[in-house]
Amino acid sequence: MVFSPYRIASLKLRNRLVMAPMATFSSHASGEVHPEELAYLERRSAGGLGMVIAGACGVHASGRAFEGQWMCEKDERLPSLRSAAEAIHRGGAAAVLQIHHGGRHCPRSLTGLERPWSASEVPCGKDGAVVAHAMTETEILEIVESFGQAARLAKDSGWDGVEIHGANGYLLQQFVSPATNRREDGWAASSLRFPLEVYRSVRRSVGPGYLVGYRFSPTEQDGYGMETTRRLIDLLVEEGVDYLHVSLHDFRYILEPEGPEPLLTQVVRAVAGRRPLIGVGSVRSLRDAEEMLAMGADLVALGRALLVEPDWPRVVSEGREPRRRMPREGAASLLTLPTPLVQKMLTVPGWVELED
Ligand SMILES: Cc1cc2nc3c(=O)[nH]c(=O)nc-3n(C[C@H](O)[C@H](O)[C@H](O)COP(=O)(O)O)c2cc1C
């Protein structure tokens, strides 16, 4: 199953393995892609994946969330975007661009904004010292528009599709969550209007035949639960989204208050085969990937496993064990990883296992 070809909208994938969107923190300060990122993307694609989703490309200057984030917020980015799509295509995988706005998680050092934009005046950062600026109607419409523009740039620069980043606590999720959206106007959390308008803007820009996916977090601590997610899924399916992508740290994760079944199983049931579903979270072996498909996901996304084993699809298809740990020295060249990403992997505890 894992290695059987798969059709998603009008795209033919060589198998069901997908690279999960992963920011690399390595782009030029200007927002242009760095040559190290191109080599990284090409190597992963050449390792045998069906599809590569390139992580978190910023749609608007107010939405840059981390250093080294690349951008797709204006026409001048076309050459940068084109070079990345071409790098992925050289490796044989389909290329999907994840488009992103960080909302309240964007530091002033990157945006120049005194207060980052969000749905409501909620605390930002770890200490909560800064309070977000509640976006005006005009600003909301500007951001909705910027997602559409980013999608057009992706299409014009040769990407096969875009994925709207609605997960992991960034701006779209900030609008979905009652914990961060306390608005009482037409953009209230319960309306789910913001993610829908973003989707519509993207679709208007790229037309009916172009691949548009949506990534979401199924639940949020002290925020929303599966009931909201089921509504969001229904609305996106009605609107015509091409695929859904559930963001999970572990695909077997069970969240007690939501019942005894893994969240992935609950999402599978909510999608009910109406659209392809990408699952993700702690897949390390071929058995894990098979188990995820048996649970009902249509495609298997791999994140950290691909950082430490760029040739994961080829290695497991040959019956070999993939590398599980990253060497402490020489990883950038051995594994074709951008240098700033290696630095993070070496310093953020628990991200990836390191060799002794
Ligand atoms: C270095 C790194 C960067 C990430 N960047 C993004 C991102 O840009 N967008 C996103 O939706 N998820 C991002 N994630 C989350 C991954 O897509 C994935 O959901 C998560 O790592 C769990 O999958 P895994 O266990 O296979 O790594 C990132 C994860 C890592 C490790």
Pocket of ligand 1 (CB under 6 A): 20-23, 55-56, 98, 165, 167-168, 215, 247, 249, 280-283, 302-305, 351
Domain chopping of the chain, boundaries: 6-347
Whole-structure pTM value: 0.98
Give domain 6-347's CATH number out of 3.20.20.70, 3.30.479.30, 3.80.30.20, 3.40.50.300: 3.20.20.70
The confidence band for 52, taking pLDDT boundaries of 50, 70 and 90, is very high
Question: Tens of pLDDT along 101-118?
Answer: 999 999 999 999 999 999
311 Cβ contact list (under 8 Å, min separation 6): 47, 48, 322
- The Cα 284–Cα 245 span in angstroms is 19
Question: Tens of pLDDT along 126-143?
Answer: 777 899 999 999 999 999
Handedness of CA 81, 85, 88, 90 (dihedral sign): negative
The structure tokens listed for 33 are: 């892609």
- The atom number, within ligand 1, closest to the CA of 56 reads 8
Question: Tens of pLDDT along 189-246?
Answer: 999 999 999 999 999 999 999 999 999 999 999 999 999 999 999 999 999 999 999 9
Return the residue whose CA atom lies nearest to atom 10 of ligand 1. 21
- Mean local confidence (pLDDT), 318-337: 96
